Amino acid sequence: MGDNDNITPVYERQGLSHALRETAQSFESVSETPRLDAELLMAHALGISRSDLLLNLPKLAVPDAFAAFSARRKAHEPVAHILGEREFWSLPFQVSPDVLIPRPDSEIMIETAVKIGAKNPPRNIIDLGTGSGALLLAGLSEFPQAQGVGIDASAAALAVAHNNADRLGFSDRSRFLLQDWTAPDWTQFMQQPVGSEPFDLILANPPYVSTGDELSREVAEYEPHSALFAGADGMDDYRIIIPALDDLLAENGTVLLEIGFNQAEAVSRLAKKHGYHVECKQDLGGNDRLLVLSRAGAG
């Protein structure tokens, strides 16, 4: 053996495929998708796409940056934070610890919007608690004639949303407003000169986790609690949003409201009390995830 063999990192000697296998194994206790995580982090460390990684496995060497990424994942940091990005509705969204990471389960909202909008596409969309802007911008990508407004109580989140609108080419059709719905009269912005026509599509994925619920370390330690927790029964934000919908919604408009898997009954009851017709839809995992609200008697 020459001197060089002694200083070559073990990963390099044994090859990248081996490193992926070992790393995936070491992620098993922190992740439900250990192999995918290892591949995504490796591709990121190499500055290439995952498909390029998989096509060129035998030719590639493990880059120095990989060890640090892998250590962060082992400390439960979400892959999306390490990459700074997460795909939603096939669009790449910048994410940071200031916003909720877009979930595949939320895609049912866009799928439903597309079905509802097929006959009568929305012109004016609002996303309540927009975070990264994922729901609003995915919506705008499907409705090229539509304008969108995203509101959020976090300026840091709005900066991420703004940046996503720029990167994805929607800045001319989207506006972002700092609005806190826990403040009285928060819907007053509808009356201001910068206000808006009533919205024919309202999207919202508000916080809906009960304060007592135990979340995985990945979520609890790395995602913004202000976007997750909503009081003892997880209903605090629905209790504010649902009564305020009347100020925002156009006559024949639709509201798409994400809910926790066990909240369909309670949130439907609240919406019906406020005069809405309610339908419930399930996510990819078969859990109740979305309520479709329209004014009872509208249409």
Q: Assess 205 for contact with ligand GLN (CB under 6 A).
A: yes
Choice from 137, 228, 256, 257 touching ligand GLN (CB under 6 A)? 228
User: Among 82-90, 111-119, 206-214, 269-277, which window interacts with ligand GLN (CB under 6 A)?
Assistant: 206-214
**Least distance between ligand GLN and beta carbon 229 (Å):** 7
Number of chain positions touching ligand GLN (CB under 6 A) = 8
Rounded to whole angstroms, the Cα distance separating 99 from 133 reads 9
**Least distance between ligand GLN and beta carbon 103 (Å):** 5
SS3 assignment, position 130: coil
Choice from 24, 91, 114, 219 touching ligand GLN (CB under 6 A)? 219
**Least distance between ligand GLN and beta carbon 159 (Å):** 20
Choice from 207, 238, 245, 263 touching ligand GLN (CB under 6 A)? 207
User: Among 47-55, 192-200, 205-213, 244-252, which window interacts with ligand GLN (CB under 6 A)?
Assistant: 205-213
Choice from 209, 248, 255, 264 touching ligand GLN (CB under 6 A)? 209
Q: Assess 153 for contact with ligand GLN (CB under 6 A).
A: no
Among residues 157, 206, 201, which one has the least CA distance to residue 177? Answer: 157
Judged by CB under 6 A, the chain residues 97 through 136 that form the site for ligand GLN are 103
CB 241 within 8 A of CB 248: no
User: Among 32-40, 158-166, 202-210, 244-252, which window interacts with ligand GLN (CB under 6 A)?
Assistant: 202-210
**Least distance between ligand GLN and beta carbon 91 (Å):** 19
Residue bearing tokens 């493990």:
62
Rounded to whole angstroms, the Cα distance separating 132 from 255 reads 20
Rounded to whole angstroms, the Cα distance separating 193 from 190 reads 8
Q: What are phi and psi of 93, to 5 degrees?
A: -105, 130
Q: Is 259 exposed, middle or buried (0-12, 13-18, 19+ CB in 10 A)?
A: buried
**Least distance between ligand GLN and beta carbon 109 (Å):** 11
Residue bearing tokens 């296998």:
21
CB 63 within 8 A of CB 52: no
45-63: b or e for each residue (b if 16 or more CB lie within 10 Å)? bbeeeeeebeeeeeebebb
Q: Nearer Cβ to ligand GLN, position 53 or 137?
A: 137
* Chain contacts with ligand GLN (rule: CB under 6 A): 103, 205-209, 219, 228
